[in-house]
């Protein structure tokens, strides 16, 4: 064998993905690719590996949202090739704790999931490719779900999950506007919007001296205290509640002032009344803890590896449930907004159940 060149394309990409995760920087990885595969096509190889890395973000999202009973990657090669294309995953979605009013309310739904990623705000799949995935799913009488990672703006991304019918309805194109009545992710992931109900002002104290809190800012240091002010009321978070500052960090904030004093900083911020998807928030919170910057997406592959080896702490949806319960205990500060309307949600569920034997 002549090294990587004798392997199939997908086998090459999977090996290169693992090597990329082990490289200290992109330059080191690019040099490796050029050395083993030649100068031509390096950019295309890196682009396709980016796609594999973003597939791992879908795995991470399912893990953090606690939305899957099981999820398995599928072998993309064929012993018998009849012109099908194999989706990325076989998933058993857990619907037992859904907040949506459904009748019947199934405990699970199994489906094939094909992950499509882009660095832009739209994702389009060709009809030929879609039909090949669809025919494969029909062999097993399971629905096909297309999961698209889309850009909202420079600091925000979202995952849009659509059935084959929904995708065709939007001319095989996914956009963030598909969320809700032309998507099914809110039902399968038990996803919803969270929004502040009032203007909230935060007074934060930071110190350069290490504290017991794990919340650290590259700009200011260790979080020391949080005081919330709203509608003439005031809440001072107890020390053990300071980790809930990570929940607040997931909303857009405007800095009113910041002042350095001694070994610390005082910062006042205003939380804007803008809604955020729970799915977006859980990813942001985990990336913030990984790289101290939730505005830019880190490597989900690296975080999954750290979690598997007990070298990182998972911040899942239960953390957000606890945060909302705490902040709403005395005042209704945050509201949960369901996606889609009840009638359409029921139609979506009926369509999914119609392709699966119960």
Annotated domain spans of the chain: 3-40, 52-190+341-353, 195-337
Which among 292, 209, 311 has a CA at the least distance from the CA of 246?
A: 292
Least confident of 52-56, 175-179, 292-296: 292-296
Residue 47: predicted pLDDT: 66
3-state secondary structure of 285: helix
Which among 83, 67, 76 has a CA at the least distance from the CA of 184?
A: 67
The 10s digit of each residue's pLDDT in 178-204 is 998 899 999 999 999 999 999 999 999
**Residue tagged 């956009």 (tokens):** 175
The 10s digit of each residue's pLDDT in 1-46 is 455 565 556 566 666 766 766 666 677 777 777 776 666 666 766 6
Checking if the pLDDT of 336 tops 80, the result is: yes
Checking if the pLDDT of 311 tops 80, the result is: yes
CA 159/CA 45 separation, integer angstroms:
24
Average of per-residue pLDDT across 284-306: 74
Cis? peptide before 104, omega within 30° of 0 = yes
Residue 355: predicted pLDDT: 43
Strand bridging mode 144-153 / 233-236: unpaired
The 10s digit of each residue's pLDDT in 127-150 is 998 999 999 999 999 999 999 999
Checking if the pLDDT of 48 tops 70, the result is: no
Question: Considering the entire predicted model, what is its pTM?
Answer: 0.86
Residue 357: predicted pLDDT: 39
Which among 49, 54, 52 has a CA at the least distance from the CA of 32?
A: 49
Exposure pattern of 265-294 as b/e (b: 16+ CB <10 Å)? bbbbbebeeeebbbbbbbbbbbbbbbeeeb
Residue % of the chain over a pLDDT of 90:
58
Average of per-residue pLDDT across 321-333: 95
Residue 307: predicted pLDDT: 86
Q: Residue 10 CB: number of other CB atoms within 10 A?
A: 13
Average of per-residue pLDDT across 231-250: 93
CA 37/CA 21 separation, integer angstroms:
18
- Phi first, then psi, for residue 229 (nearest 5°) are -125, 135
Average of per-residue pLDDT across 232-249: 93
Residue 97: predicted pLDDT: 92
Mean per-residue pLDDT over the chain, rounded: 86
Fold of 52-190+341-353: Trna Endonuclease; Chain: A, domain 1 (3.40.1350)
Cα separations in angstroms, 46 against 42, 49, 249: 6, 5, 32
Average of per-residue pLDDT across 277-298: 78
Q: Which two tokens stand for residue 69?
A: 């009973």
Residue 168: predicted pLDDT: 92
Average of per-residue pLDDT across 108-131: 90
């Amino acid at each position: 064998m002549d090294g990587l060149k004798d392997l199939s394309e997908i086998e090459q990409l999977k090996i290169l993905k693992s090597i990329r995760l082990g490289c200290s920087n992109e330059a080191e990885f690019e040099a490796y690719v050029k050395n083993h595969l030649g100068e031509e096509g390096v950019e295309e190889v890196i682009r396709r590996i980016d796609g594999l890395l973003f597939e791992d973000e879908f795995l991470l999202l399912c893990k953090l949202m606690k939305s899957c009973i099981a999820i398995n990657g599928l072998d993309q090669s064929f012993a018998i090739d009849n012109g099908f294309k194999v989706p990325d995953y076989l998933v058993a979605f857990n619907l037992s704790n859904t907040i949506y009013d459904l009748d019947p309310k199934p405990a699970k739904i199994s489906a094939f999931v094909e992950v499509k990623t882009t660095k832009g705000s739209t994702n389009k799949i060709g009809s030929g490719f879609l039909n090949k995935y669809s025919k494969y799913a029909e062999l097993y009488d399971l629905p096909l779900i297309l999961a698209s990672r889309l850009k909202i703006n420079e600091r925000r991304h979202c995952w849009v999950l659509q059935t084959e019918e929904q995708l065709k309805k939007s001319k095989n194109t996914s956009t963030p506007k598909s969320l809700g009545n032309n998507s099914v992710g809110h039902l399968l992931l038990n996803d919803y919007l969270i929004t502040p109900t009032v203007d909230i002002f935060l007074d934060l104290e930071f110190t350069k001296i290490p504290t017991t809190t794990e919340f650290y800012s590259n700009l200011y240091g260790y979080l020391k205290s949080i005081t919330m002010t709203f509608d003439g009321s005031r809440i001072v978070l107890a020390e053990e509640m300071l980790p809930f500052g990570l929940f607040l960090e997931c909303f857009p904030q405007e800095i009113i002032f910041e002042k350095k004093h001694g070994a610390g900083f005082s910062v006042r911020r205003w939380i804007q009344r803008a809604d955020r998807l729970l799915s977006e928030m859980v990813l942001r919170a985990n990336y913030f803890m990984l790289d101290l910057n939730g505005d830019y997406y880190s490597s989900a592959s690296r975080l999954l590896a750290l979690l598997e080896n007990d070298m990182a702490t998972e911040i899942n949806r239960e953390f957000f449930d606890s945060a909302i319960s705490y902040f709403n205990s005395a005042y209704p500060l945050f509201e949960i907004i369901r996606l889609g309307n009840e009638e359409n949600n029921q139609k979506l569920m009926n369509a999914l159940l119609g392709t699966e034997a119960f």
